[in-house]
Structure 1
Amino acid sequence: MEGCYGKYMTEDQFKIEPQYGPSHNFLVYCNDVLVSFLKYVDCEKLSSVKINFKNKEDEHSFADLKEGSDIFDWMEEHGYSDEMYELEYRHTFFSLVADFCHYMLESFECAAKKKVAVAYALLRKPLRDNLYYIEWLAAEREDLLDKLAKGKAKDLVINKSNAKKYIEKVEKIYGIAHQDGFFNFRYDKNDRMSLEKIWNKANHVITTHSYTKSAQGELNFVFLDEERIDEFTRYYYCVVPLVMSYAVDLIVAMFERIINVNPMTNVINRVLKLARQACTADGKFFQDALNILEVDEIPFFCPHCGNEIHMNLDILFELMNNMFKCEECGFKIESSNYVFDY
């Protein structure tokens, strides 16, 4: 294992080939961050929205709704459109993220076992579909929710032109710029290095599209030898962490707006995510990435006792491995996923 990160790794983390360990750990960490948000949402009942009724009549009318009644219709009819959209938004967003996590984690586990066909096949829905609708929610929330509630299925079909538009809006709204949302990787069958091309082959034994056409005598992903399996494994751990990083940045930004995090929470989580991602690089690139973080300049204090702590690489690595305890009060920061302590 390259870099200082290696000295903090445990035996349990070496279940895959060592060269893929840092990338695999980063992917699992990203998934854990999203799952921790979903657990927080459930614990804090954030799927619900408080309605400040305009009068007693509305309050009684809402309370008298019979089981099976359409709450959204009532809210729209009585002038609570803002609350209606917020409720629909949260339900749709949280559900899309949960579904995204289910598929991605299974893909990570298959990649670790070098079951490359299944690993790539499982990427298609979360990275092409779920992420598209999450971007749509982020960019044009009411448009998606209106079509979902009152439109037809054809109104919700993925459109590549719209995908580009949503990605551009995401960049403006949230300041997230990752290679145009990795559009070509996710949607372009014609791109030589496209994930779209690979997962189409992984999902079909025979493909006939001009850019993904099965070669004569080939059954897609059926006759792979060890060399080809290794190639697909290397490519997976090269590309998927980049796309996952973009997805997590967007989803976390959307979550943080819902829970209204304070600046310190935002900073510490961004630093930990960037540091973990830096560990996927080797040698000089690893060190360069850490230098960019300017670790010594990162503000840090114990969220329990307020003790100011001078950040350094050792403390950063302890945080990355969920091992940090405040020397002043003994408080342990839970940092294996999203840090809520601040």
Structure 2
Amino acid sequence: MFSSLQNRKRTNLPNKFNFGHELSFLLHDIMTSLFETAKQTNMFSINIDIYEDEYKKFLENSEDIGKWILNTKEKNKSAKVLKTIVFPALLSDMLHCFYEALETSRKGKLTISYMLIRKPLQESLYLLEDIVLSELNFSDKFKKNAESSELESLEYKKNLKHLEFSSAGGKEGHAKRIEKIFEIMGSNFGLSPEYIAQLRYDKSSEDSFDIICNKAMHLFTTHEKIFTEPLNINMIFSGYSEFETQWAYLYSRLPYLLFYTWIIVEYLTNSIIETSQEYLDDIRRRVSALIILWWNEIDDFYKNEKLESFVGFQEEWLNNHCLKNGYKIPTKNNLIKMFKNGSFPNESKNSIKQRLNRYQDIYKINLLDAKYYEKDVNFKIIDNK
């Protein structure tokens, strides 16, 4: 039933966490599939018209576009180019971290799992948020940092800090940024900006990854909120009861943040090349179905109003989506089938097959188009004469 656990050796994960593991891997796999398809079809390629005489000869004879990015006066264009370079590189690194975190969790190596999720959740995701908020501002900060590298080290460090998550202004600053992101997207998807910020950055709350991730990273922690207990070394003496607590927290919270990561990734991808709405709905059906099943398996101790609101939003969307398309509200059996193949309740096999064939046709067309792109960025030199 759980593809993320099939034919995997050395699995130590208790069955009660299977839905959380499957949901986490589903969200990881959706982003991975998006990334791989984008690479194969050159979705991260971009055509740029160049009007500046001083760069024409240089760009005609060089694949190194760094000089142009740093010096061009066409800032909007350089920002778009930078996005198509930074976004996929960040995404690839994040997905590697998430994959290994889930695999080590499955094997019971939870200290490593918590070490691995810290960077993508706190740092990488912060940069993706920066691009969503304003690709131009992100580009300016990124370029300013590069320009200051030739200056005094203090100036370089100062500019580098503008790219770090600590520059947002604490938990409240992060929450405000996330709220603006939801305004840009036109929906919060049932997610709470304050809770997302808390889970990623709050050392004062026990309901935060920041505490356990820091303890996983360091043998001794001296911050007053995460002080290492007397006669202890962080997390190295964990026994099975501690593992159960660590699994329970991981699988009751990580899917929430992975869902948020996914909608950020989907938004940025759509800003480069638009994705079929039918396909997006198909993927969201699968995710929403598994979210409902996951919620029913979470221990009541780990449930809260923020998570309940999130699940309720997905359930309401899914029910309305099914009714709008002429199908009934899904039962548990329908949900199990839905998260596996995206099927509506009692949808015919022929209908499912036709939809999947349409996705395959679109993929083939994109592959054909990709043959005309030989570089990540294609410059068209415009003669001003």
Is residue 297 of structure 1 aligned with residue 294 of structure 2?
A: no
Give distance in 2, aligned partners of 1:12 and 1:69. Answer: 45
- The secondary structure found in structure 2 opposite 1:99 is helix
Residue 222 of structure 2, aligned match among 208, 221, 228: 208
Q: Which residue of 2 aligns with 1:178?
A: 191
Q: Which residue of 2 aligns with 1:30?
A: 27
Change (3 A) 1:312 1:223: closer
Counterpart of 1:223, as a letter, is F
Residue 234 of structure 2, aligned match among 194, 200, 220: 220
TM-score (norm 1): 0.81
Please, which moves more after superposition, 184-193 or 309-318? 309-318
Q: Which residue of 2 aligns with 1:279?
A: 293
Q: 1:121, 1:203 within 8 Å by CA — same for their partners in 2?
A: yes
Is residue 61 of structure 1 aligned with residue 83 of structure 2?
A: no
Is residue 90 of structure 1 aligned with residue 101 of structure 2?
A: no
Q: Deviations over 1:227-269 (max 9, x none)?
A: 1111111111111111111111222122223221233233222
Residue 120 of structure 1, aligned match among 114, 118, 128: 114
Q: 2:19, 2:297 within 8 Å by CA — same for their partners in 1?
A: no
Q: Which residue of 1 aligns with 2:160?
A: 153
Alignment of 1:1-342 (within 5 A): 8-9=1-2, 12=6, 15=11, 16-53=13-50, 61=57, 64-66=60-62, 68=64, 70=66, 72-73=68-69, 76-77=72-73, 79=74, 81-151=75-145, 152-158=159-165, 159-161=167-169, 162-174=173-185, 175-176=187-188, 178-180=191-193, 182-282=196-296, 293-294=318-319, 296-299=322-325, 317-322=336-341, 327-328=349-350, 331=353
- The secondary structure found in structure 1 opposite 2:44 is coil
Deviation at 1:332, TM superposition (A): 6.5
Change (3 A) 1:121 1:31: same
The number of residues matched between the two structures is 323
Give distance in 2, aligned partners of 1:231 and 1:70. Answer: 48
Give distance in 1, aligned partners of 2:25 and 2:69. Answer: 40
Change (3 A) 1:339 1:154: farther
RMSD over equivalenced CA pairs, Å = 3.6
Q: 2:114, 2:216 within 8 Å by CA — same for their partners in 1?
A: yes
Give distance in 2, aligned partners of 1:73 and 1:247. Answer: 27
Change (3 A) 1:70 1:200: closer
Deviation at 1:63, TM superposition (A): 5.0
Counterpart of 2:259, as a letter, is S
Deviation at 1:12, TM superposition (A): 1.4
Deviation at 1:156, TM superposition (A): 1.7
Query: Matched residues, percent identical?
Result: 19
Give distance in 2, aligned partners of 1:209 and 1:115. Answer: 25
Q: 2:133, 2:180 within 8 Å by CA — same for their partners in 1?
A: yes
Q: Which residue of 2 aligns with 1:303?
A: none
TM-score (norm 2): 0.73
Q: 2:2, 2:18 within 8 Å by CA — same for their partners in 1?
A: no
Q: Which residue of 1 aligns with 2:303?
A: none
Give distance in 1, aligned partners of 2:342 and 2:174. Answer: 41
Counterpart of 1:211, as a letter, is K
Please, which moves more after superposition, 236-245 or 212-221? 236-245
- The secondary structure found in structure 1 opposite 2:43 is coil
- The secondary structure found in structure 1 opposite 2:72 is helix
Please, which moves more after superposition, 163-172 or 103-112? 163-172
Change (3 A) 1:30 1:334: farther
Give distance in 2, aligned partners of 1:178 and 1:312. Answer: 23
Deviation at 1:339, TM superposition (A): 12
Please, which moves more after superposition, 194-203 or 266-275? 266-275
Give distance in 1, aligned partners of 2:222 and 2:66. Answer: 46
Counterpart of 2:261, as a letter, is A
